[in-house]
A and B are shown apart, each in its own frame.
Chain A
Amino acid sequence: MKPPAAPRFGDIVLASAFRPFFLLVPLAAISAVLPLPVIWTGLVGSGTIGSAAWHAHEQVFGCLAAAMAGFLLTALPSWTGTPAVTGRPLAMLVTVWLAGRLAFWLDGVLPASLVALADLAFLPAVFGSALPALAKAGKRPIDLGLVVAGLLLANFWFHMTRLGALPGTPDVAVVLGLDLLLVAIALALGRILPVALGAALQEAGLRGPVRLSPGRRHFAAATLALFAAADTFAPASPVTGWIALAAACAQLDRIVELHRGAALRRPQVLLFYVAQAFMAAGLAGLGAAALGACFDPVGLRHLLGMGAASLTVVTVMSIVSLRHSGRAFPLPRAVWIGPLLIIAATLLRVAVPEIAPEAMPWLGVALPSALWAAGFLAWLVVFGPWLVTPRLDGKPG
């Protein structure tokens, strides 16, 4: 018999879904903002399709969708005890995702229907891979499955509006995608927060049970789902405004459970807390705007996309990378760097159009884009090595 050879790089990275996707998320996040400064500062003329729609789509259905795929395809099997997607099927999934991104970059060169086809393949593939876990009765990730299905439809709608086959605009479709992602986050936090809070309590030397009421979580998710529906069917209506305000309050109501003294200051809790606060602020702002206040809705969408969604995603990615690479809490101190840069980017992107609209191209787009890119790069530097080395405890995954 031959002595066991050192595992190959490909085998390690394809051992679990979170590894390749979390490696790609920072790249996707950076590439989705790359063209923006160029367009906004006017150095080069605008692209062929709406740059805003392109950018939003890449952030939501490119970057965030990849993060969600990595999370779900790692977490769902471990919740339900079903086999995980690894090796060749995982490589296929990653290839499908890459094809979608490539097609989007070549939008305008390739025919629109081909772009649509390439991009639309990914989410159904993720859904199909998650099906064994979702089909397992008794466990409850069904709600997350429904949201993935909703995302899939939103992306489908996005492309159909571009092709002129369905009514609506790409912008509304991509906003629906982001709203649905927020629902997914609200649901997924129910699974992640107990672990994060438990670890934080231990690190802070506090005792007492982790008490997170499902009622609060469901209320937060349900109001968000309602908001997503209202936001799609009656975007500017005051009814939607009130619902947005209600959803904001429900998110705030939820984070009271994180008020646990020193445990709140641990990164795995504080980052979620800040993200939830951003979510509440964004929803409240959108609500106020729909009811007549003059806020810039695009800035508020960025509060939701950057502040709430991305910050949560980066934190989840950190925790999943830690745990599923066989490591134990605490998170390394360097975990703060990426999120702080992203928070700075968010604040600039949201505040500049309100305070100094004329400074928008440089301070509101170029600088936030750079900070954003730096944040994701920092994350990759800190956690990337864990993703390309075998699990510490020798278990598969």
Chain B
Amino acid sequence: MIPLRTRLAQALDYVWGGWGAAASLLLLVALWEAGHEAYGTLVLPSPRETFAMLWRMTLDGRVWPAVVETGRNALAGFLGGVLVGGLLGALAGLSDMMRRLLAPVSTLMLGIPAIAWVVLSLLWFGGSGLAVVFTVLVTSAPVVFASAAEGVRSLDGALQRMARAFRVPRRVLVWDVYLPHMLSYLFPAVATALALSWKVAVMTELLSGAGGIGDGLATARVQVDTVKAMAWILVVVALLLAVEYLLLEPLRRHVLGWRRELPGAETRDPQGI
């Protein structure tokens, strides 16, 4: 087991890494500010205006409900997508017949642009939250499908043979061999699907008027209120960043820590003073 002190130090290092990300984002804000100075508020409101607007909207109680709404739809669709894609993928990995049956379908689904699904789900479900959930589900499921299939298919390899040779109990086999193996295949796909689910959810909301952040964006567009639109975009971006840096990246480090790069690979030998 890793001692607590090391864990704390690692956590601190991780949180500290936020400064690097902040530097990069602030440079982007500087570019934004320059754009504002060049083109004016109607095209590109200034960052400070936008932040102020976001603050006002939050105080008015408009932001949080929208975030919850979008989050609920996106998460429901994402979980459904992972479940469906994962299960079907596992089936395809286990049985060759299922693979023959499902793989082309999954490839086809992957090729259908998200916007086409939005149109279809609007026709089928109207402007309800269900349309959002459905669109997210069908766009994220194929992403998970392929890697789940590949993960299950490659389970029965040299490592499993090794584990059998050492006659470890089933629990260990599942926990120490199957699970890490599956995670190394599934995790990247699931992370991609999660990031995708937000964007698709907002897009569907925008076109369907089903509430949430996308609806706010649509309203801002109708009112030609660039400041408000930018503020809503900020909300989306902030959510994406939060999911990536507060959830996915720590998980990734925890789960795929063994993939770490060779130590010192990126440092050049210093020559001293």
Q: Which residues in A have some Cβ–Cβ distance to B below 8 Å?
A: 75, 78-79, 190-192, 194-195, 209-216, 219, 223, 226, 230, 237-239, 242-243, 245-250, 252-253, 256, 259, 291-292, 319-320, 323
Contacts and interface: CB of A to CB of B under 8 A. Distances in A.
Contacts of B47: 238, 242
A186 to B, nearest CB: 13
Given A259-B9, A323-B273, A216 B20 contact: yes
Interface stretch (B85-93, B109-117, B261-269): B261-269
Contacts of B25: 246
29 contacts: A191-B270, A191-B271, A195-B270, A195-B272, A195-B273, A209-B264, A209-B267, A210-B267, A215-B266, A219-B20, A223-B23, A223-B27, A238-B33, A242-B33, A245-B26, A246-B23, A246-B25, A246-B27, A246-B30, A250-B19, A250-B20, A252-B19, A253-B17, A253-B19, A253-B20, A253-B22, A256-B13, A256-B17, A319-B273
Contacts of A230: 30
A230 B20 CA distance: 20
B163 to A, nearest CB: 33
B29 interface: yes
Given A213-B266, A214-B266, A239 B33 contact: yes
Contact of A213 (B33, B37, B267, B273): B267
Nearest to B30: A242
B54 to A, nearest CB: 16
B16 to A, nearest CB: 4
Contacts of A75: 273
Given A194-B270, A195-B272, A212-B267, A239 B30 contact: yes
Contacts of B128: none
Nearest to A194: B270
A209 B263 contact: yes
B5 to A, nearest CB: 9
Interface in B1-53: 9, 12-13, 16-17, 19-20, 22-27, 29-30, 33-34, 37, 46-48
A249 B19 contact: yes
Contacts of A190: 270
A234 to B, nearest CB: 9
B-side binding surface: helix, strand, loop or mixed?
helix
Given A213-B267, A246-B23, A239 B13 contact: no
A247 B263 CA distance: 27
The winner among B13, B30, B272 for most chain A CB atoms within 10 A is B30
B272 A194 contact: yes
B271 A291 contact: no
A78 B273 contact: yes
Nearest to A252: B19
Nearest to A261: B9
A213 B24 CA distance: 17
Interface residues of B, number: 30
Contacts of B17: 253, 256
B16 A253 contact: yes
Contact of B263 (A191, A192, A211, A243): A211
Contact of B24 (A239, A246, A320): A246
Contacts of A238: 33, 37, 46-48
Nearest to B13: A256
A57 to B, nearest CB: 28
Question: Which 4 residue pairs spanning A and B have beta carbons closest together?
Answer: A246-B26, A194-B270, A242-B30, A249-B23
A210 B264 CA distance: 8
Nearest to A71: B273
A239 B19 contact: no
Contacts of A256: 13, 16-17, 19
A345 B273 CA distance: 29
A243 B30 contact: yes
Interface string B91-103: 0000000000000
B13 A242 contact: no
A239 B34 contact: yes
Interface in B169-222: none
A291 B48 CA distance: 8
B33 A214 contact: no
A255 B163 CA distance: 44
Contacts of B263: 209, 211
Contacts of A250: 19-20, 23
Nearest to B33: A239
Nearest to B32: A242
The winner among A78, A238, A292 for most chain B CB atoms within 10 A is A238
A210 B267 CA distance: 9
Contacts of B268: 214
Interface in B247-273: 263-264, 266-268, 270-273
A249 B267 CA distance: 21
Contacts of A245: 26
Nearest to B24: A246
A389 B123 CA distance: 89
A58 to B, nearest CB: 27
The winner among A75, A215, A253 for most chain B CB atoms within 10 A is A253
Contacts of B266: 213-215
Contacts of A291: 48
